[in-house]
């Protein structure tokens, strides 16, 4: 949630401390094309229905939705069913596809006559956000998004675009499903909780809410006050110039800007002084290099020896996306604690087991999703499913690049049938998991409590390389230390220090051993 200023309750503050990216809907938020769309829809439907199409119909049934969904949704509201038709249907055809063509003809005709108007305060906000270091994306159901952006000369204000054409190519369901916003966040390399959604349509606001974005701002251009908050917005504004932007001291920065832990070893050791250190380690990409096949990610003898020694001095836990038994089988060491399935499945002190309860209730959904994925992906060579107790991973590392969108489409269609699951991801992998507020950071908190270490005298240190490790970095911000293993691709991270690769991770762990007085053997 954004903070609100006490003296001006309408003003919203977006600070780099809280967020990294802002995702803008286009029509009605940035450009004045919502009214062009509304007029085109009215021209279309008024020839078909009585009483005529109203502004309320526009807001309830078509605004923000993909074109054909909007047609189906409105016709259904009037008890009308038309044949679906085919994409080849012309604008004169009395089919859903034909109406879609006709509506677009009306839209482009008006656009040509009037040109594209922009909301100056939205453009001003975009400029202020980018100057403060926010990343920005445009997320629109419109298939005319590029045309509109070009005509309005706004293309340079966005780092990513997910529009109707892209959604169609990837098979992503449109708003109110959250998938197009999630895809934009993924393209920006930002976790949804660190991104803000700006929307004027109820369907878009619902999509932002369902995607668990850090903040959803309803931009009220028309309609009754409170309707967007009613649809799930955290806050409603009528004027984007009231949104304040703060550079703040962001907790997130580009991975390249994060200082090296080994170069700053004196500083790091000073930060540990007088504190009991507890060590939490991701597995893939952290304790072992990323390799082509998941089963080949074996722990090296050198790393195993280092971990064994580390566990003689400190509480140590492996916190991984792997299935718990697989993780334990790879590490093969006594005296460590383990959390598998991205923290849903934990083996804590004294063999105390924890399985996230709400996640357990959703296991039949994960089972069904796994079956559907196996069926849907069977024809795409190179895909590989990896079932963990609480999640199912779809590896696409070996899929021909041109066919990766097909994989994404299959994942999206399975997800659309299982709204209680969500998509997360990592290195060339999509994962489906229970859509609940549980992640590696929560697992670390659980372990600290179970170990009696949830107090100020303890400094938790988490080392990881991937997006799911960012949850732990965020959770420990200000009360522990996060160390990120740099990959080939730069992305924002909340980590405090960086390590170049798995060998540097080992050197860092050796540094901890030396700090504790060296090997005990
Ligand atoms: O949380 P982690 O321990 O980092 O696990 C994350 C995922 O890692 C594995 O996949 C990744 O590593 C494989 C082996 O190097 C690689 O082939 C794959 O492309 C990577 O995505 C693991 O297979 C997944 O189950 C984990 O969720």
Q: Is the CB of 340 under 6 A from ligand 1?
A: no
Residue 10 above 50 pLDDT?
no
pLDDT digits (tens, 9 = 90+) for 504-513: 999 999 999 9
Mutate to test the pocket of ligand 1, among 291, 294, 485 (most ligand atoms within 8 A of CB): 294
Q: Compute the residue count for the chain.
A: 521
Q: Is 152 in the pocket of ligand 1 (CB under 6 A)?
A: no
User: Looking at residue 11, what is its pLDDT?
Assistant: 63
The residues carrying an active-site annotation are 282
Indicate if ligand 1 lies below 6 Å from the C-beta of 392. no
What pLDDT is stored for residue 2 in this prediction? 42
Q: What is the CATH number of domain 33-113?
A: 1.10.150
Distance CA(148)–CA(142), nearest Å, equals 9
Average pLDDT, rounded, for the chain? 92
- Please say whether the dihedral angle defined by the alpha carbons of residues 276, 505, 289 and 295, taken in this order, is positive or negative: negative
Task: Give, using CA atoms, the residue closest to atom 13 of ligand 1.
Answer: 294
Domain segments of the chain: what residues?
Answer: 3-29+116-246, 33-113, 256-356+438-515, 359-434
Dihedral of alpha carbons 192, 197, 202, 204, sign: negative
- Chain centroid to Cα 436, Å, comes to 14
Question: Would you say the CB of residue 429 lies under 6 angstroms from ligand 1?
Answer: yes
Q: Which protein residue has the closest C-alpha to ligand 1 atom 6?
A: 321
Confidence of residue 7 (pLDDT cuts 50, 70, 90): very low
In CATH, 256-356+438-515 is 3.40.50.1000:
yes
Q: Are 310 and 520 in contact (CB under 8 A)?
A: no
> What are phi and psi for residue 2, nearest 5 degrees?
-75, 155
For ligand 1, say whether the CB of 322 is within 6 Å of any of its atoms.
yes
pLDDT at 248 over 80: no
Rounded to whole angstroms, the Cα distance separating 280 from 440 reads 10
Residue nearest atom 21 of ligand 1, based on CA coordinates: 427
Which residue's CA lies nearest to atom 27 of ligand 1? 321
Stretch (H or E) spanning 366: helix 363-377
pLDDT band at 521 (very low <50, low <70, confident <90, very high): low
Q: Is the pLDDT of residue 8 over 60?
A: no
386 lines ligand 1 (CB under 6 A): yes
Architecture label for domain 3-29+116-246:
3-Layer(aba) Sandwich (3.40)
Is 30 a residue whose pLDDT tops 80? yes
Q: Which of 171, 195, 165 is nearest to 181 (CA)?
A: 195
- Local confidence band at 223 (pLDDT 50, 70, 90 cut-offs): confident
DSSP per-residue letters across 113-167: HH---B-HHHHHHHHHHHHTT-EEEEE-S-TTHHHHHHHHT-GGG-SEEE-HHHH
Counting from 1 in the atom list of ligand 1, the atom nearest the Cα of 327 is 3
pLDDT given for residue 489 in this prediction: 83
pLDDT at residue 490, as a whole number: 85
Express each pLDDT in 333-376 by its tens digit: 999 999 999 999 999 888 889 998 999 999 999 999 999 999 99
Task: Flag whether pLDDT at 6 surpasses 50.
Answer: no
Q: Give 247's pLDDT tier (boundaries 50, 70, 90).
A: confident
- pLDDT of 290: 97
Q: Is the pLDDT of residue 460 over 70?
A: yes
Look at 187 and 83; give whichever has higher pLDDT.
83
Question: What is the distance in A from the centroid of ligand 1 to the CA of 45?
Answer: 51
* CATH value of 359-434 in 3.30.70.1020, 3.60.150.10, 3.40.50.2000, 2.120.10.30: 3.30.70.1020
- pTM for the model: 0.66
Q: pLDDT of 101-115, one tens digit each?
A: 999 999 989 888 888
C-alpha of residue 159 to centroid of ligand 1, in Å: 28
Q: What is the pLDDT of residue 184?
A: 94
Average pLDDT, stretch 200-223? 93
- Nearest Cα neighbor of 459 from 476, 440, 484, 441 is 476
| Ligand 1 centroid, distance to 307 Cα (angstroms) | 20
3-state secondary structure 191-220: CHHHEEEEECCHHHHHHHHHCCCCEEEEEC
**Residue 102, ligand 1, Cβ within 6 A:** no
Q: Do domains 3-29+116-246 and 359-434 have the same CATH topology?
A: no
- Each residue of 205-214: pLDDT tens digit? 999 999 999 9
User: Over the stretch 429-452, which tens digit does the pLDDT of each residue have?
Assistant: 999 999 988 999 999 999 999 999
Torsion region of 115: left, alpha or beta (phi above 0 gives left; psi -120 to 50 gives alpha): left
- Mean pLDDT across the stretch 178-198? 91
Stretch 387-397: mean pLDDT = 98
Residue 425 confidence (pLDDT): 85
């Amino acid at each position: 949630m954004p903070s609100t200023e006490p003296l001006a309750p309408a003003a919203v503050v977006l600070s780099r401390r809280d967020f990294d990216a802002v995702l803008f809907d286009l029509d009605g938020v940035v450009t004045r094309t919502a009214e062009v769309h509304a007029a085109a829809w009215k021209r279309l439907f008024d020839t078909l229905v009585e009483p005529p199409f109203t502004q309320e119909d526009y807001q309830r049934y078509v605004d923000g939705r993909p074109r054909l969904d909007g047609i189906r949704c409105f016709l259904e509201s009037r008890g009308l069913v038309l044949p679906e038709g085919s994409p080849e249907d012309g604008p004169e055809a009395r089919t859903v596809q034909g109406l879609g063509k006709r509506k677009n003809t009306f839209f482009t005709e008006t656009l040509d006559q009037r040109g594209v108007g922009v909301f100056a305060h939205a453009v001003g906000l975009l400029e202020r956000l980018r100057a403060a270091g926010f990343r920005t994306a445009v997320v629109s159901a419109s298939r005319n998004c590029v045309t509109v952006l070009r005509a309005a000369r706004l293309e340079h204000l966005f780092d990513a675009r997910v529009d109707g054409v892209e959604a169609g190519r990837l098979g992503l369901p449109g708003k109110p499903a959250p998938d197009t916003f999630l895809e934009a966040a993924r393209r920006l390399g930002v976790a949804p909780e660190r991104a803000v959604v700006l929307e004027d349509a109820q369907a878009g606001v619902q999509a932002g809410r369902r995607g668990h974005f850090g903040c959803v701002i309803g931009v009220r251009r028309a309609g009754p006050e409170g309707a967007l908050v009613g649809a799930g917005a955290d806050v409603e504004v009528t004027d984007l110039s009231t949104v304040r932007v703060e550079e703040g001291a962001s907790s997130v920065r580009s991975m390249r800007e994060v200082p090296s832990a080994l170069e700053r070893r004196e500083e790091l050791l000073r930060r540990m002084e007088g504190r009991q250190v507890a060590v939490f380690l991701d597995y893939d990409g952290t304790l072992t290099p990323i390799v082509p096949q998941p089963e080949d990610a074996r722990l090296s003898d050198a790393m195993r020896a280092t971990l064994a020694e580390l566990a003689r001095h400190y509480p140590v836990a492996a916190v991984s996306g792997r299935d718990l038994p697989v993780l334990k089988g790879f590490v093969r060491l006594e005296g460590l604690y383990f959390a598998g399935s991205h923290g849903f499945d934990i083996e804590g002190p004294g063999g105390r087991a924890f399985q996230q309860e709400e996640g357990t209730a959703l296991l039949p959904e994960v089972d069904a999703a796994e079956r559907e994925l196996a069926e849907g992906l069977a024809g795409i060579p190179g895909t590989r499913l990896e079932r963990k107790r609480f999640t199912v991973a779809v590896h696409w590392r070996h899929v021909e690049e041109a066919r990766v969108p097909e994989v994404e489409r299959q994942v999206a269609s399975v997800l659309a049938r299982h709204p209680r699951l969500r998509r997360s991801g990592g290195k060339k992998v999509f994962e489906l998991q229970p859509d609940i507020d549980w992640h590696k950071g929560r697992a670390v908190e659980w372990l600290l409590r179970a170990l009696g270490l949830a107090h100020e005298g303890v400094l938790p240190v988490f080392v990881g390389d991937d997006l799911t490790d960012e949850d732990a970095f965020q959770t420990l911000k200000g009360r522990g230390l996060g160390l990120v293993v740099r990959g080939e691709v730069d992305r924002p991270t909340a980590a405090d220090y960086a390590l170049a690769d798995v060998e540097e991770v080992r050197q860092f762990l050796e540094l901890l051993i030396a700090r504790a007085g060296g090997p005990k053997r």
